[in-house]
Homo-oligomer: A and B are copies of this chain.
Amino acid sequence: AKIAVLAGDGVGREIVPEAVKVLQAIGEKYQHTFEFTSADIGGQAIDKVGVPLPQETLALAKQSDAVLLGAVGGPKWEGLEYSLRPERALLGIREALGLYANLRPAKVYPNLVDASTLKREVIEGIDILVVRELTGGIYFGKPKGIEKLPNGEERGVNTEVYTTEEIRRIGKVAFEAARKRRKKVTSVDKANVLESSELWRRVMIEVQKSYPDVELHHIYVDNAAMQLVRNPRQFDVMVCNNIFGDILSDEAAMLTGSIGMLPSASIGAKVGLFEPIHGSAPDIAGKNIANPIATIASAGMMLSYAFKLEKEAEAIEQAIVKTLDMGYRTKDIQGPDTRVVGTTEMGDAILRNLN
* Contacts A145-B195, A156-B162, A160-B159 given; does A250 touch B230 at CB 8 Å: no
The answer to whether A225 touches B199 (Cβ under 8 A) is no
A141 to chain B, nearest CB (A): 8
A200 to chain B, nearest CB (A): 7
List A156-208 residues whose CB lies under 8 Å from chain B: 156-165, 190-200
The answer to whether B229 touches A255 (Cβ under 8 A) is yes
Residues of B near A146 (CB, < 8 A) are 195-196, 198-199
The answer to whether B243 touches A190 (Cβ under 8 A) is yes
The answer, among B119, B162, B231, B250, for a CB contact under 8 Å with A119, is B119
A115 to chain B, nearest CB (A): 11
Residues of B near A161 (CB, < 8 A) are 155-158
Tell whether A49 is near chain B: CB-to-CB under 8 Å.
no
The answer to whether A226 touches B199 (Cβ under 8 A) is no
Q: How far is the CA of A244 from the CA of B243 in the complex (A)?
A: 10
The answer to whether A192 touches B85 (Cβ under 8 A) is yes
Residue in chain B with minimal CB distance to A194: B158
List A43-95 residues whose CB lies under 8 Å from chain B: 82, 85, 87, 91
Residue in chain B with minimal CB distance to A78: B192
The answer to whether B163 touches A154 (Cβ under 8 A) is yes
Tell whether A325 is near chain B: CB-to-CB under 8 Å.
no
Residues of B near A281 (CB, < 8 A) are none
A247 to chain B, nearest CB (A): 5
Q: How far is the CA of A154 from the CA of B223 in the complex (A)?
A: 27
The answer, among B164, B226, B246, B254, for a CB contact under 8 Å with A230, is B254
Q: How far is the CA of A161 from the CA of B165 in the complex (A)?
A: 26
Residue in chain B with minimal CB distance to A248: B225
A80 to chain B, nearest CB (A): 11
A143 to chain B, nearest CB (A): 8
Q: How far is the CA of A254 from the CA of B118 in the complex (A)?
A: 12
A282 to chain B, nearest CB (A): 15
The answer to whether A156 touches B253 (Cβ under 8 A) is no
Tell whether A213 is near chain B: CB-to-CB under 8 Å.
no
* Contacts A119-B117, A247-B247 given; does A195 touch B156 at CB 8 Å: yes
The answer, among B138, B191, B197, for a CB contact under 8 Å with A160, is B138
Tell whether A215 is near chain B: CB-to-CB under 8 Å.
no
The answer to whether B230 touches A253 (Cβ under 8 A) is no
Tell whether A35 is near chain B: CB-to-CB under 8 Å.
no
List A127-167 residues whose CB lies under 8 Å from chain B: 138-139, 141, 144-146, 149, 153-165
List A227-277 residues whose CB lies under 8 Å from chain B: 227-231, 243-244, 246-251, 253-255, 259
Q: How far is the CA of A141 from the CA of B230 in the complex (A)?
A: 32
Q: How far is the CA of A226 from the CA of B197 in the complex (A)?
A: 24
The answer to whether B158 touches A195 (Cβ under 8 A) is yes
Tell whether A310 is near chain B: CB-to-CB under 8 Å.
no
The answer, among B192, B244, B251, for a CB contact under 8 Å with A251, is B251
| 5 A-B pairs whose Cβ atoms sit less than 8 Å apart in the complex | A87-B193, A155-B161, A221-B247, A225-B251, A229-B229
**Interface contacts beyond A145-B195, A221-B247: sample of 12 additional A-B pairs, CB < 8 Å, sorted by A:** A87-B192, A118-B118, A141-B157, A155-B199, A157-B161, A157-B196, A158-B159, A159-B159, A222-B246, A222-B250, A225-B225, A225-B251
**Interface residues in chain A, defined as those with a beta carbon under 8 Å from any beta carbon in chain B:** 82, 85, 87, 91, 117-119, 122, 138-139, 141, 144-146, 149, 153-165, 190-200, 221-223, 225-231, 243-244, 246-251, 253-255, 259
